[in-house]
Amino acid sequence: MTGLTVTDLCKHYGALKVTDHVSLDVAPGEIHAIIGPNGAGKTTLIAQLSGQLGSDSGSVRLGDRDITHVPMPERVRLGLARSFQITSVLPSFTALENVALAVQARHGSSFRFFGAVSGEETLNATAMTALREAGLDHRALVQAKSLSHGEHRRLELAIALATEPKVLLLDEPLAGVGGEDAEGFVENIARLKGRITMVLIEHDMDAVFALADRVSVLVYGRIIATGTPDEIRSDPQVRAAYLGEREEIA
């Protein structure tokens, strides 16, 4: 099991400090949620962690390895995967084919593209496992463009799982998903708990407090508190800065 250590990570745009000496210690196997108001710097932080965006200073370590200056594709190969918001789903391919392509890329299988995915049993078996973990195996042969929004989110999760991540960055997985779809999605993520280290950025506080082992609160680019869900709920500083505006979760 692998953890993620972030130390004094900064990203500035001129005088604007978007992330300001952010430090996180994500323990192996835990779900660590990052919450905060709009404009807090969460999107920038997740981009820095994934390697999509470079940092001005600070460091990111995946387990014992410093990946601060490692490009995003190499971070994926090392076991750090990001899902949601920015994805590469091929709409005319089935859910199974989309996930099998991710498996193929991860294992360096012979890249015949169209022929390989439909013909390699090992690829498809591994892809079906990822689809099953994401709760989408019953829609494996449906084209991605025909999936509902909630199913599309499940497909994105399956693609991320197919890369065999050691640490999974979940970037607002419930955005646009509601009702039973959201409840089922939370259950899927909960079943992965303890098997994969996860960093969760999510606005749905019910989901955050149901899933997270620990929560860090980001406000104006700085972490103002880290603790268990109960500790964060009762923290006066957090309530004044963020949760006090969301009485429905108190």
The domain ranges of the chain are 1-79+165-250, 88-164
pLDDT at residue number 244:
60
pLDDT at residue number 247:
45
Could you please state the CATH topology (level 3) that the domain comprising 1-79+165-250 is classified under.
Rossmann fold (3.40.50)
pLDDT at residue number 117:
53
- pTM given for the model: 0.89
Is 54 strand, coil or helix? Answer: coil
pLDDT at residue number 241:
77
Q: Which positions of the chain have pLDDT values less than 50?
A: 85-86, 110-111, 113-114, 247-250
pLDDT at residue number 110:
47
pLDDT at residue number 7:
98
pLDDT at residue number 118:
55
**DSSP class of 50:** H
Is 28 strand, coil or helix? Answer: coil
Helices of type H across the chain: 42-50, 72-78, 95-107, 114-119, 121-133, 149-162, 179-192, 205-211, 229-234, 236-241
Report the phi/psi class of residue 39: left, alpha or beta, with left for phi > 0 and alpha for psi in -120 to 50: left
